[in-house]
C-alpha cells in the first residue's frame, strides 16, 4: 500500500488493476508455458531450417494456435478480478471498491428483518458478468484447458 501511495495510485482503480496484474503474472506465465510445451518441437525445428528467427516462429507458429490459451487466461483473470474481495478492500478507496465489497456491505447492513430476497438478487446480478463470459467463451475455455494437458 505504501508503494502505491508513493506513486499516487493508492485508493484508485489504476492501483487496483496494477495489483491484480502483478498478482496474475505468475499464474498466466505458467498457463502459457504449459500450453507451449505441448507444441511439437518438430514445428520449431522445421521453421528454423527454413530460416525463421525467434520472432517469426512466434508470430507464424505459436501465435495462431494460441487462441485457446489466451481465452483461458482472460477468463481466469476476469473471474479472479471480478470475484476478488481482499484486494478490493485493502487497495481501493470508497468510490472505487469492486462489486464484491459492495455486495458484502449490502448483505452485512440491515435494519430490522433480514431481506434475503434483496441479498440474493444482488448476488445474482454480481454473478451475471462471469456467467456471460463463460457462456460466450466456454468452448474455447475447455479447448484451452485440455490443450496444455500432458499426453500419456
Domain architecture of the chain: domains with CATH: 2-147 (1.10.3720.10)
pLDDT of residue 109: 81
pLDDT of residue 133: 86
* Mean pLDDT for back-to-back runs of 10 residues, the chain (152 residues): 87 88 93 90 93 95 90 88 85 81 84 84 91 83 62 48
The CA distance from 24 to 91, in Å, is 16
- Exposure string of 77-99, with b = 16+ CB inside 10 Å and e = fewer, is beeebeebeebbeebbeeeebbb
pTM of the complete model: 0.72
Amino acid at each position: 500500500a505504501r508503494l502505491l501511495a508513493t506513486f499516487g495510485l493508492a485508493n484508485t482503480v489504476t492501483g487496483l488493476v496494477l495489483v491484480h496484474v502483478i498478482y496474475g503474472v505468475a499464474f498466466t506465465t505458467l498457463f502459457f508455458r504449459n500450453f507451449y510445451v505441448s507444441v511439437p518441437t518438430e514445428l520449431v525445428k522445421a521453421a528454423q531450417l527454413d530460416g525463421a528467427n525467434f520472432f517469426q516462429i512466434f508470430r507464424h507458429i505459436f501465435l495462431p494456435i494460441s487462441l485457446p490459451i489466451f481465452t483461458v487466461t482472460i477468463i481466469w483473470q476476469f473471474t479472479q478480478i471480478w470475484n476478488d474481495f481482499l484486494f478490493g478492500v485493502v487497495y481501493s478507496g470508497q468510490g472505487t471498491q469492486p462489486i464484491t465489497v459492495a455486495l458484502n456491505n449490502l448483505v452485512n447492513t440491515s435494519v430490522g428483518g433480514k431481506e434475503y430476497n434483496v441479498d440474493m438478487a444482488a448476488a445474482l446480478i454480481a454473478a451475471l458478468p462471469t456467467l456471460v463470459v463463460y457462456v460466450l467463451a466456454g468452448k474455447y475455455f475447455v479447448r484451452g484447458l485440455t490443450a496444455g494437458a500432458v499426453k500419456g
